[in-house]
Structure formats: C-alpha cells, structure tokens
C-alpha cells in the first residue's frame, strides 16, 4: 500500500535534501529555536509536523491515556478477560483517570498544549513570514489545540484554559500557573473559536493533495466543531434538553456537511473498501496516516491488522476485538428491519442469513468466507466438536465464536500484499472522522431541532450505501413518521452498526447517558456452535468447505448461548458519576485552585455549567 505519511512527505517536498531522516535525526522538533521557527517556513513546518505526530489519534480513535473507547467497554466485545476492569465493575477511584496530567512532561495533555501554544506564540510574533503561509500554519495549530481540549472536556467537563506558554520557573511564576477550572461552557466556546479560526484559514483542499494527504482541511475543522457541539447538545452535557444547544449543533453540522459536499466529499461506494483508499478518499475527513516502512526513522505501522487477525501465531494476529453475540444481534435484516420485525425470518441458529450487508463486512463467523492471507475462498471454522474448538486445534481460538474483520486487508482488496508473515507492517490509515459521521451528526442535530425530514435523508443515504433494500416506501427499513425520540433512537442504532469497532460506541452511550441502562447487570453473551454427535458425515472436516452454509448449520450444528464466561468477576456496573470523571487528586494537590467534580470526594465543581 503506498503511503504519503505527512511528517515525511511534507518535509521532503519543502526541502531538497539528500535525506529526510538525517534532518529529523539532528533536529529536536519539540525544542526548535523560536527565532528559527518564526523566521523560516521550513522549520516552522517541521515543528508543526511534530505537533501532528504528538496529537493525531491512534488506530481505533484512542486518544486518552486511560485507553477508553475500545470495544471492551461496550457490548461490541465486552471485557475479554478475567482480570478486573474498574470501569465495567464500578470501581473507578479519584486517581484512576489520569489524562488531566500533573507532571512537567511534554507528552501529557497539558505538555502537548504547551508545545502548541509555544508554536502559536512564536509565529504570531513573526513579522517576516508571508501572511497566508503563517495563517495556514496557525490554523493547523488551532485545530490541534481544540482537539486536545475537546478530549479533556469530554472526560472531565470544564478544565483550565491555558492559551499562552507558561513560565513555571521560580516561586512567583509557579504560583501564577495555578489556574482554576473554566466552566464547561467557557471551554466549549474557546474550542469553537479555535476551530472557527482554523476553518477560516485552512484550504478546502491542499495543493498537491497526495503529498499533503492527512493535513487538516477546512472541512475537517468544521466537522470537529460539529462533533464538539453535538456533544454539548447531548444529554451528558445538556440533561435539560436546552434547544439553543441543539440549534448550535445543527448549524455547525450542517455547515460542515455543506462545505464538505461542495468540495466533493461523499460516501465510498463499497462499505468494505472505506479504509483502502488513501489520497483521493472522498469519505476521509480527519485522518492519521500509517506506512509499511520497516526502517527505524520512517516506520509508523498500523497495529490494527495484526491485533485483529486470529491468534494462531505471533505474526498472524492478536485475536482482539472479538464481537459478542449482543453485537451480532444488533444488526438489522437486509430490509433494514430488526430481527423479528422483518419480512425475513430470523433464527439464532441461522443468525447470518439475510442480514444487513455491513454484517458480512464486519463480523467473521463460523463458516464464513474470509479470504485472509490471499486465499480467496478461505473459510473460517470456529465450531466445537466433542467439546473442543476445531479452530487451530483448540489453541488460541475465538472465545466468543466471532472475529472483527473490519478494515482488514484480504485478497479482494486491490494491491493487498499482506500475508501471515508481514501483518505487523500494515499501513492502513485511521479515519477519526469520516463523512458518514458528518452525515449522522447532521441527522442527529436535525432531529434535535425538529427537522426530521433532514434526519431521514441522511439516515436513508447511509443505509442506501450499506446495501439495505429500499422497500416499497423507499425508507430503507426506517419507520415512517418517527417522533423526535424515535429518530434519536434510530440514529443511535445506526451509529452502532455503521461505526462498529471504530471507537465510537462507548462515547455515544456516554454522551446519551445510556451506559447503565444499556449495559449494567450483564456480562454479555457468547455463542458456542457445536457439531452434532450423530448424523455427521465421516469426512465432514474435509467436505464442509464445499457445502452450502445454511445446510451445514441446519443439518449438523446446534447453537448454545451463554454468559461471557471470561468476564467472571462481576456483572457490569457503570456508575452515574462516570459521566464526568474525577480530576486526579495529585492534580488538585499540585494546584490549590482546582475543584473536584460533583459526585466525587469533596466535589464542588458543576461540570454542567
């Protein structure tokens, strides 16, 4: 897969040097001299690329130190282990969510913000640089400052807004850095202002798009503002359903949608191929680039491929993100209706039959065709025979009976070169925001202000791309004349399926204050498909690949549904106070002006203000 990773191509295209690596070897991008940065656009771009590398989210959208957002925190996968998970078990204490950061460290959130603030300050004081070039550099820095603060606010609510570099040397200077928390509404206002500044000066499309693949665009800034204001309007931050917050969200998300569509953004035709187009990908809005380099200097490989393949050996996969039965049941039928409400019959035994096409493109299950390792007709078998999994001889098999195959390369992906020996060098890019999210953010905001026709339009277009049948009413399985509450539920259900295993589900449930009602009291469900003990052909193990899958299940398998035995410690018990985590006690001890969130020990800060 060809790669255009921004740190390297931007440098090479700007600076005719014999070796990109030699410059990066010798230049401390985090501590470049301010005079050099402000006076030289090349070095300014180097410093900006350092900010990109510090702040771009990892595969799966992981941007929090605590690692929240993975499938194990929701019904996508549940906790696939017997060790304690404090979030799931209601055991989080004041010092467990440490993203706030207290140490003088360039890699924690406020350390990264300081780097961004220093970059902004140095450039603003520069009278030499061309105004257009300077504003484009500043705009990208404003975007990442907004990104960092948004990630903090969604965890804690309001945090101290630091917008200039602070000097903590000396007692007086150190005491001057003791800042109280700004209110959540003040933080949202500042983040919005930074994104407005970014959008004002960023291009809709960068010149030389291939060389600048991954750089933030005007549409990317507007899309992040839309996500921010959707959070601000959602019940986590807006429990009294204030209409003006929904209106602000609607205005921002419609603006993002309009700007992106005007510049050619649209859904990729094939849901399975979203991840395998780089420069020119019409669905990609906010992207983290990865490459297939094996060199020390340029290497930035994606871990997604290796972590999700079956765990048959150290080079083939980690068996992560194992879908639960609950996630399998979440998919509608191919007419867009829920199982039981569809014209298509549903049974647990034939769970795979007549489902939403996104099911086949996301979930690998017993007997499915999964062309791994460039074997086009490879079939996956995870059933049990005589009480033992037949998968890999009963060693390192799926504990739920399923695998996640979203964004994994196969022989049907043009240019796929991955086999069992080189999956660790995957270069598949992560799309933190893709156009489908912009559409659904717009739909949800439209529902919030009562524009249900606009919400219908976006939902229908998402389902049309998925391959769901239109139906006689052309509603693609959606209920006609939904109420506002019904539309909200339909959109949340659509997001669960559309963004499965993309790190969105936990945050959606959290912003809608649905963690307890959706998950508490459960351990999740696993499926075990068992080979019958009688009537099975003696050559079944060699003849099964040639049989029709429906017949195989009907004639030779039974299915058993049981609680997720691996999560043996306790049922899920999310607590209401987790909607705003505690500021770490160490941070409060370090800064006497900080107040703790309501609901935690000595809490006096209202994160809803």
Contact 510/518 with Cβ under 8 angstroms? no
Task: Give the mean model confidence (pLDDT) for residues 496-516.
Answer: 97
pLDDT of residue 72: 87
pLDDT of residue 40: 63
Quickly count helices (H) and strands (E) in the chain.
Answer: 22, 10
pLDDT of residue 26: 28
Which residues are registered as beta bridge partners of 385? 388
- Cα 280 from Cα 283, distance rounded (Å): 9
pLDDT tens for each residue of 138-183: 999 999 999 999 999 999 999 999 999 987 655 555 666 789 999 9
Residues 6 or more apart whose CB falls under 8 angstroms from that of 152 comprise: 99, 100, 109, 159
Q: What is the mean pLDDT of the chain?
A: 88
pTM value? Answer: 0.92
Angle, vertex CA 542, rays to CA 539 and CA 547, nearest 5: 95
* Nearest to 320, CA basis, from 312, 310, 308, 303: 308
Judged on CB neighbours under 10 Å (0-12, 13-18, 19+), 571 is middle
- Cα 101 from Cα 110, distance rounded (Å): 7
- Cα 334 from Cα 342, distance rounded (Å): 9
26-55 burial: b if 16+ Cβ within 10 Å, else e: ebebbebebeebbebbebbbbbbbbbbebb
Which tokens belong to 250?
């609607």
pLDDT tens for each residue of 238-253: 999 999 999 999 999 9
221-225, 586-590, 592-596: least confidently modelled range: 586-590
End-to-end CA distance of the chain: 48
Taking the CB of residue 480, how many other CB atoms lie within 10 A of it?
7
Contact 173/167 with Cβ under 8 angstroms? yes
pLDDT of residue 507: 96
The enclosing H or E element of 605 equals strand 603-605
381 versus 33: the higher-pLDDT residue is 381
* Nearest to 279, CA basis, from 210, 231, 347: 210
Confidence of residue 21 (pLDDT cuts 50, 70, 90): very low
Residue 569 has pLDDT above 80, yes or no: no
230-244, 294-308, 509-523: least confidently modelled range: 294-308
* Nearest to 116, CA basis, from 82, 160, 181, 166: 166
pLDDT of residue 297: 72
Crossing angle for the helix pair 218-233 and 131-156, to the nearest 10 degrees: 20
Task: Give the mean model confidence (pLDDT) for residues 211-221.
Answer: 96
300 versus 251: the higher-pLDDT residue is 251
Domain boundaries, given as residue ranges, for the chain: 313-323+362-423+525-563
pLDDT of residue 318: 86
- Cα 244 from Cα 373, distance rounded (Å): 52
Residue given tokens 């094996």 in the structure block: 294
pLDDT of residue 181: 97
Q: Side-chain half-sphere of 114: how many Cα atoms within 13 Å?
A: 18
Residue 83 has pLDDT above 80, yes or no: no
Please, what sign has the CA dihedral across residues 329, 330, 333, 337?
Answer: positive
Report percent pLDDT > 90 for the chain. 67
Which tokens belong to 179?
């800042």
Task: Give the mean model confidence (pLDDT) for residues 103-112.
Answer: 84
Contact 215/268 with Cβ under 8 angstroms? no
Residue 16 has pLDDT above 60, yes or no: no
Residue 187 has pLDDT above 60, yes or no: yes
Task: Give the mean model confidence (pLDDT) for residues 218-231.
Answer: 98
The size of the chain, in residues, is 609
Residue 184 has pLDDT above 80, yes or no: yes
pLDDT of residue 492: 98
pLDDT of residue 18: 28
Confidence of residue 387 (pLDDT cuts 50, 70, 90): very high
Q: HEC states along 503-547?
A: CCHHHHHHHCCCHHHHHCCCCCEEEEEEECCCCCCCCHHHHHHHC
- Cα 516 from Cα 223, distance rounded (Å): 29
Contact 514/579 with Cβ under 8 angstroms? no
pLDDT of residue 10: 42
140 versus 370: the higher-pLDDT residue is 140
Task: Give the mean model confidence (pLDDT) for residues 260-272.
Answer: 97
- Cα 407 from Cα 430, distance rounded (Å): 9
pLDDT of residue 565: 63
- Cα 383 from Cα 553, distance rounded (Å): 10
Residue 222 has pLDDT above 70, yes or no: yes
- Cα 341 from Cα 490, distance rounded (Å): 14
Contact 378/411 with Cβ under 8 angstroms? no
Confidence of residue 7 (pLDDT cuts 50, 70, 90): very low
């Amino acid at each position: 897969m060809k790669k255009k990773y921004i740190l390297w191509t931007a440098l090479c295209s700007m600076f005719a040097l014999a070796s990109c690596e030699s410059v990066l070897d010798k230049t401390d991008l985090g501590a470049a001299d301010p005079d050099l940065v402000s006076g030289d656009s090349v070095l300014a771009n180097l410093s900006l690329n350092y900010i990109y590398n510090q702040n771009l989210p990892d595969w799966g959208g992981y941007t929090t130190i605590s690692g929240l957002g993975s499938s194990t925190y929701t019904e996508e996968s549940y906790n696939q282990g017997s060790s304690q998970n404090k979030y799931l078990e209601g055991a989080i204490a004041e010092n467990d969510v440490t993203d706030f950061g207290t140490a003088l460290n360039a890699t924690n959130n406020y350390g990264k913000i300081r780097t961004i603030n220093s970059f902004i300050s140095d450039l603003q004081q520069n009278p030499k640089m061309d105004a257009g070039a300077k504003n484009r550099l500043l705009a990208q820095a404003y975007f990442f400052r907004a990104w960092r603060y948004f990630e903090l606010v969604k965890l804690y609510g309001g945090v101290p807004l630091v917008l200039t570099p602070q000097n903590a040397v000396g007692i007086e200077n150190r005491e001057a850095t003791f800042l109280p928390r700004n209110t959540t509404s003040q933080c949202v206002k500042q983040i919005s202002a930074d994104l407005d500044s970014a959008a004002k000066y960023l291009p809709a499309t960068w010149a030389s798009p291939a060389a600048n693949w991954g750089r933030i665009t005007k549409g990317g800034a507007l899309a992040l503002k839309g996500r921010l204001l959707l959070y601000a309007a959602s019940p986590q931050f807006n429990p009294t359903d204030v209409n003006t917050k929904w209106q602000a969200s609607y205005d921002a998300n419609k603006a993002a949608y309009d700007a992106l569509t005007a510049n050619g953004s649209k859904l990729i035709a094939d849901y399975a191929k979203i991840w395998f187009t780089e420069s020119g990908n019409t669905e990609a809005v906010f992207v983290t680039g990865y490459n297939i380099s094996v060199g020390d200097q340029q290497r930035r490989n994606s871990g997604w491929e290796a972590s999700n393949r079956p765990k048959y050996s150290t080079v083939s996969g980690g068996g992560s993100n194992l879908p639960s039965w609950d996630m399998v049941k979440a998919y509608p039928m191919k007419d867009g209706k829920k199982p039981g409400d569809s014209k298509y019959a549903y049974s647990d035994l034939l769970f795979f039959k007549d489902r939403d096409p996104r099911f086949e493109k996301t979930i690998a299950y017993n007997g499915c065709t999964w062309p791994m390792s460039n074997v086009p007709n490879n079939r996956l078998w995870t059933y049990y025979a005589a009480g033992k999994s037949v998968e890999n001889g009963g060693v390192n098999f799926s504990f739920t009976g399923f695998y996640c195959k979203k964004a994994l390369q196969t022989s049907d992906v043009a240019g796929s070169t991955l086999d069992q020996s080189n999956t660790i060098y995957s270069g598949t890019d992560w799309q933190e925001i893709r156009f489908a999210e912009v559409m659904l953010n717009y739909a949800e905001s439209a529902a919030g202000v009562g524009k249900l026709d606009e919400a219908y339009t976006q939902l229908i277009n998402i389902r049309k791309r998925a391959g769901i049948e239109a139906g006689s009413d052309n509603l693609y399985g959606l209920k006609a004349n939904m109420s506002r509450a019904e539309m909200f539920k339909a959109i949340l259900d659509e997001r669960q399926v559309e963004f499965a295993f993309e790190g969105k589900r936990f945050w959606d449930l959290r912003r809608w204050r649905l963690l307890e009602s959706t998950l508490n009291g459960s351990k999740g469900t696993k499926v075990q498909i068992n080979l019958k003990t009688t009537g099975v052909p003696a050559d079944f193990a060699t003849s099964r690949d040639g049989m029709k899958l429906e017949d195989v299940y009907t004639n030779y398998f039974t299915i058993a549904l049981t609680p997720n035995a691996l999560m043996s410690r306790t049922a899920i018990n999310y607590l209401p106070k987790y909607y705003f985590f505690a500021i770490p006690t160490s941070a409060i001890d370090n800064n006497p002006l900080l107040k703790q969130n309501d609901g935690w020990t000595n809490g006096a800060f209202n994160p809803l203000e």
